[in-house]
Amino acid sequence: MTLITDVALRRVLDSRGNATVEADVHTESGGFGRAKAPSGASTGEYEAIELPVQQAIARAREDAIPRLVGEVYAGDQRAVDAALHAADGTDDFSHIGANSAVAISMAAARAGADVAGLPLFQHLGGTFRGNTFPVPLGNVIGGGEHAAEATAIQEFLAAPVGAPSVEEAVFANAAVHETAADVLADRGVACGKGDEGAWAPPVEDAVAFEVMAEVVETVTEEVGFEIRFGLDVAAAELYDAEAGGYVYGDRVRDTDEQIEYVADLVDEYGLAYVEDPLDEDDYDGFARLTERVGDRTLVCGDDLFVTNVSRLERGIEEGAGNSILVKPNQIGTLSDAVDAVELAVGAGYDPVISHRSGETEDTTIAHLAVGTDAPYIKTGTVGGERTAKLNELIRIEHNA
Ligand code: PGA
Ligand code: ZN
Which letter, b or e, does each residue of 279-300 get, where b requires 16 or more Cβ atoms within 10 Å of its Cβ? bbebbebbbbbbebbbeebbbb
356-380 pLDDT, tens digit per residue, is 999 999 999 999 999 999 999 999 9
User: pTM for this one?
Assistant: 0.98
Catalytic residue among 22, 47, 196, 237: 196
Distance 357 CA to ligand 1 centre (A): 5
| Ligand 1 site-directed mutation target among 146, 237, 352, 357, most atoms within 8 Å of CB | 357
Ligand found nearest the CA of 300: 2
Ligand 1 atom nearest the C-alpha of 354 is 9
pLDDT of residue 368: 98
Ligand found nearest the CA of 379: 1
Has residue 4 got a pLDDT over 90? yes
pLDDT of residue 38: 98
Ligand 1 atom nearest the C-alpha of 145 is 4
Average pLDDT across the chain, whole number: 97
pLDDT of residue 1: 73
134-167 pLDDT, tens digit per residue, is 999 999 999 999 998 999 999 999 999 999 999 9
Distance 324 CA to ligand 1 centre (A): 13
Distance 143 CA to ligand 2 centre (A): 12
Per CATH, the homologous superfamily of domain 4-117 is Enolase-like, N-terminal domain (3.30.390.10)
> What's the pLDDT band for 385 if we cut at 50, 70, 90?
very high
Ligand 1 atom nearest the C-alpha of 356 is 3
The response to whether residue 234 sits with its C-beta less than 6 Å from ligand 1 reads yes
The response to whether residue 144 sits with its C-beta less than 6 Å from ligand 1 reads no
The response to whether residue 357 sits with its C-beta less than 6 Å from ligand 1 reads yes
Has residue 223 got a pLDDT over 80? yes
Nearest CA to ligand 1 atom 8: 42
196 carries an active-site annotation: yes
C-alpha distances (whole Å) from 374 to each of 130, 231, 294, 377 are 9, 19, 19, 7
Distance 75 CA to ligand 2 centre (A): 31
The CATH architecture that domain 135-397 belongs to is Alpha-Beta Barrel (3.20)
Ligand found nearest the CA of 378: 1
53-78 pLDDT, tens digit per residue, is 999 999 999 999 999 999 999 999 99
Has residue 131 got a pLDDT over 90? no
Annotated domain spans of the chain? 4-117, 135-397
152-210 pLDDT, tens digit per residue, is 999 999 999 999 999 999 999 999 999 999 999 999 999 999 999 999 999 999 999 99
